[in-house]
Every structure is written in C-alpha cells, then in structure tokens.
Structure 1
Amino acid sequence: MSPALTEQEVNAIEQYDEQQRFNYLLKQVIANRELWILTDEHGCVMLNSEDEDCVPVWPNQEFAQNWVNDEWQNCRPQAISLDKWFSHWSPGLEEDELAIVIFPNQAEEGLVIYPYELESELKHRLKQK
C-alpha cells in the first residue's frame, strides 16, 4: 500500500489530463498491486458515458474517497488486488459488456477503455518491471 497523499498532491494530480491520469493509474496499480472502486449496498457504482456503461477505477484510496459525496455519500472505496482484477473483474466486466472509466476527475472526465485494454496494458507494464 502506498503512503497517503497530501491534499496538495491530490489536487495537483487531479489537474492531469486524461492520458496523464491513465499513466499515473498504471504506475500506481503496478507499484501497489491494487486499484480502487466505489461500492454501495447494490455493489460497484457506475458512470454512464454517451456510449457506454462504465465502472470507474482510481489509483489510490484518496481519489476514490473524493467521490464520496452528494448522490454517492453512502459509497465507500474498496481496494481490488491486481490478481483478483485479472482473475475475476476483467473477465466479468467483459462478459457484462461494461467499459472502464480510468481515474475520473471531479469534472467526471476520464478515459473510457475496455477491460481487455486495461488488462493488456497492465500485463505489459508488469513484464517491463
């Protein structure tokens, strides 16, 4: 698990563009071997893009926690190990035809990709490690 980020670090990283946030997420997920989602009593929370139903994922607990407000005030951040992501989440999201929104910022902007794309990129980076 990574050390807690300061408020200044969180605010600075939130300003990254979509590609920078994607690269940051990949680096953090490889380093910490986990990624973060939000859950509520119904399961994993979802966002909707114009074309896709998406599961948002974050690189650190602090970024997921920033989304726990307003309509999502009853949600809680949940870590998913990289191994569990590969064995259960990625195939399950593919089967359910769901996309992933990578590290959405507070303006609800984030790169939308498919589970196999995230898995492929993570496995590629793991090999380089």
Structure 2
Amino acid sequence: MSNSLDASRIAEIQAFDAEKRYKYLVKEVVANRQIWILTDEHGCVMLNTEDEDCVPVWPNQEFAEAWATGEWEHCKAEAISINKWHSRWTAGLEDDELAIVIFPNQEEDGLVVYPDELDDELKQQARKQQR
C-alpha cells in the first residue's frame, strides 16, 4: 500500500510536467502494485482528445480523488492491481481501441499512450526494481 502523501508533496508532484508525471506514475504503480482510475455508474471515466478516446489513470488514490471535482464529482477512485492491469486491462483497452491518458492534471493535460506502451514501461520498471 502507498504511504499517504501530504499536501505539499501532492502540490509538488502535480506541478511536474507531463513527462515527469509519467515517470512518477510508472514508478509508483510498480512500487504499490496498483494503478488508479475513476469510475461512475457507467464504468470507467473516459476523456477525449481530437484523435483518441482515453482512459485516465493515476499513480495514487489522492490524485484520482483530487480529479473527481466539478462534472466528475460523482466519480470514485478505484484501484486496479498491476496483475489485473497486465492480464485484463491492457488487452481490453487495445480491443476497444482506447488509449490511456497518463496522470492528467487539473487542466486535463497528460501524455496519451497506447496500452501496450504503458504495459511495456511497467514491466521494464518492475525488472529494474527487482535488481
């Protein structure tokens, strides 16, 4: 389980640029063995770019919950184990032709990656942490 993040650390991490937030997410997801999404009564929250339908993901519960405001305030943060992510979500997102938006900030800014790219990054990070 993750350690609770204090407000100053949350603010510091949210100020990272999209690339740095991606690196942070990969490390946290592997370390904590879970990735966070937002859900509502229809399932997982989706965002749209000009080119892609995306599932937003966060590294920690605090960031997912911080995003659940305004039109998303009815959503709840849900953890997905890294094993379930690898075994079900990656293939499911690919089958549905969905991309992933990595750790979007309050301006909805985040890197858009394909499920296999994130899967590869997570597996590479897991190998690094096992050394």
Q: Tell me what 1:63 maps to.
A: 63
Rounded to whole Å, the distance in 2 between the matches of 1:3 and 1:78 is 17
Instruction: Letter of the 1:115 partner, please give it.
Output: P
Equivalent residue of 1:55, what SS? strand
Report the alpha carbon displacement of residue 44 of structure 1 after superposing the two structures with TM: 0.0
Pairwise mapping of residues 101-120 of structure 1 onto structure 2 (< 5 A)?
Answer: 101-120=101-120
Cα deviation code 1:89-129 (max 9, x no counterpart): 11000000000000000111000000000001111111122
Equivalent residue of 1:66, what SS? helix
Report the alpha carbon displacement of residue 39 of structure 1 after superposing the two structures with TM: 0.1
Pairwise mapping of residues 24-63 of structure 1 onto structure 2 (< 5 A)?
Answer: 24-63=24-63
Report the alpha carbon displacement of residue 36 of structure 1 after superposing the two structures with TM: 0.1
Q: Tell me what 1:87 maps to.
A: 87
Q: Tell me what 1:3 maps to.
A: 3
52-61 or 68-77: bigger deviation = 68-77
Report the alpha carbon displacement of residue 70 of structure 1 after superposing the two structures with TM: 1.1
Instruction: Letter of the 1:127 partner, please give it.
Output: R
Matched length: 129
Instruction: Letter of the 2:66 partner, please give it.
Output: N
Instruction: Letter of the 2:105 partner, please give it.
Output: N
Instruction: Letter of the 1:85 partner, please give it.
Output: W
Equivalent residue of 1:101, what SS? strand
Rounded to whole Å, the distance in 1 between the matches of 2:33 and 2:86 is 11
Instruction: Letter of the 1:103 partner, please give it.
Output: F
- Structure 1: gaps (5+ residues): none
Rounded to whole Å, the distance in 2 between the matches of 1:74 and 1:117 is 30
Equivalent residue of 2:56, what SS? strand
Q: Tell me what 2:17 maps to.
A: 17
Rounded to whole Å, the distance in 2 between the matches of 1:78 and 1:86 is 16
Report the alpha carbon displacement of residue 69 of structure 1 after superposing the two structures with TM: 1.2
Question: Structure 2 length as normaliser, TM-score?
Answer: 0.97
- Structure 2: gaps (5+ residues): none
The 4+ residue runs of structure 1 with deviation greater than 6 A are none
